[in-house]
Structure 1
Amino acid sequence: MPDHAPQPVDRQLPTDEARDLISLVRDIAQREIAPKAAEEEDAGRFPRETFTLLSESGLLGLPYDAEYGGGEQPYEVYLQVLEELAAARLTVGLGVSVHTLASHALATYGTKEQRAEHLPAMLGGGLLGAYCLSEPASGSDAASLRTKAVRDGDRWVLTGTKAWITHGGIADFYTVMARTGEDGPRGITAFLVPGDAEGLSAAAPERKMGMKGSPTAQVHLDGVRVGDERRIGEEGQGFTIALSALDSGRLGIAACAVGVAQAALDAAVGYARERRQFGRPIADFQGLRFMLADMATQIEAGRALYLAAARLKDAGRPFAKQAAMAKLHCTDTAMKVTTDAVQILGGYGYTADFPAERYMREAKVLQIVEGTNQIQRMVIARHLAGPETR
């Protein structure tokens, strides 16, 4: 390995099993994911075969119970797996995070019968999930969603449109939040909808700044019928389920953000050691060295923040405030670090021949998804000062 090659992150792993797991993930990332990432992102190609490999390797259900095909790993370990995958290709890391998010409702709130019937295929059977909360007119204000589910005997009829759905059109199952009662959060219920359900369709994928290999699309439900056995939790419990999933999902986004930032730092350090100006490597110049030091410090702070939140979750303690803090800090850090990486590479950083510009484009979306960073600040402030007065 050349001396300028990226060095593996010194992971904080609690067991030998976890260390072996990270070694497996690094091998897959370096051998199967990273070499094709730039070409496939440029072509807008979704790597479904990679997700099949991850499923076969037991990596699509890491935080869930082994009884249902999960890996029964603590979030402290699962999130570090996401970071490794996102550093190789964000489409993959974020895709695993979204799949985990889509599985959360059933794994956490489903009946034993529901979990036994569906979770093994979702966690280890090659299926891919999507999470359907946002709508064209309800993004940050998720409690105002308008998709309806109307009871018809022992079935429900779902009608409406979901927006900004990662894996929209290619998912095998959708966890859908729909209105079954009064306006507001108390009238929302969660459903598990098969990807091939009659009446379910997806619009053309959005044309995005980055993550072009990950399809994001509107999902239309035109009279989709599902049995009551696919209702997750109680009627009216859907918004509570959605927020519970998002608390965990925000930690996934934080870990992905740290992965992208680490990849950008590695690229910047490698370039700075090799690029020579005025007779010496540009890594010798103090101004650039200070930039690299600041980038590394913020990445380490972000990693420590998401791991601290994960340990709270693993201990069964409240972690919503810390999850919001981790998502806020890590994604802002990713945006700053990737921007600085482009600057360090100079003109080359602005070209697609080097990965820095892709990292910068990808980092932006992480400040938006699963609650914008303005929403994270609202969540944190509510924990500190209480709800806003009206």
Structure 2
Amino acid sequence: MKPGILMKAVWPQVEQGVSLFTGCCVQTFCTPPLSSEWLCAQSKGCFYLEEDGEIVSHKYRLHLPQSSTVCITIKPLRLHQTEGKCCPWLSVDTVLYVLKESEPQENLQLVCCTDQQNKEMFGWKGELPSGVYWLLPFTTGCRLKKGKTAITGEAKLVYRDEDGELALTREFRAALSDIFETIDLDGNGLLSLEEYNFFELRTSGETCDEEVWAVCKENFDMKKNELTRQGFMDLNLMEANDREGDPSDLWVTLLSLGYNKALEMTEACPFVIDIYAEKCKPRIKAIYLEAGSWQLNRAICKSVVNKGDAKVMDGCENIIVYTYRTGMRITSVIENKSDNKVIVHVNNEQSRNCLSNRGLAVFAVEVAPKSMMVSQHVMPLNEQEEWLYSCVHSLLR
């Protein structure tokens, strides 16, 4: 077992091609520094689930002006309006892959990932040289996935008040307040043009320019050229008025942000990133909102290969299965060193209390020649109970 991984586990000797794990979830810890002398930068973001199951998220650039010990954490964001409500995204796993920028700019080198766990928080602490880094958030998809529960009925978004004027319902205002809190990436209580454009990009596929923002400033409440929470509410009320109370466009917005027709956020996971540095002030900025890139996939594979246990597939010396376990996550990667593509059969039928991002107990993975790819991510279905991960990889001929 790798140093620093505190997990009560047993890895018995088993036949080639079988990965076996039994244990309970015992968490490793990365505690943010308590000293006020450490400088902190923070940004929020969100994972959004697409119709095809793909996951979109913000991606960030981190600037560290000088070498320093740093602590990096990511965790699901607790929203004020959801106190006492079911918040399924709080159980979603999160991780940050940290890549250092070098010349050429697209040549990003994996530095670390936040694989130390403290409850819902995942973190990493260590030394980083000065420079520019990219922070790529990731979630396995084990828990952030399409729901199977049918929603009957539809929440009411607007109504006519006693004067016959359109108004937003209390439930819709609460949802909008949570949305505002999520898209206010720097947490200053206002929306900048850049922050608002991430919202527009997600909900309409378009962005606003400075000219449109100036018109917005004339019609909605702003402070320091940034949209207030009330201004955001009024903007949505204007959209309802434009359609004479027809909520269709409002629902397009809500559904694209992960809400269902009961105004529950079930297909999104807002998160918050904290960067603590001992010797300098770090700066973090959201740059993109997009699906996982090839850099992210490469970083995941490289991390598993560097830290995981390697097993050569029985009778196939060119096929290697790497398995990396940390906290409540297991990831396996298949490497194909041969000159031909291979199809690997994966069987999890002997696993117990396990949840795979594949959604299937048995499936096949095609791996191109001279390449590697993620086979699956696995988490416990119930973290309070013992879980058994038993996976058999075999070559389909």
How high is the TM-score relative to the length of structure 1?
A: 0.26
| Greater fraction helix | 1
How high is the TM-score relative to the length of structure 2?
A: 0.26
* Bigger radius of gyration among the two: 2
| Greater fraction strand | 2
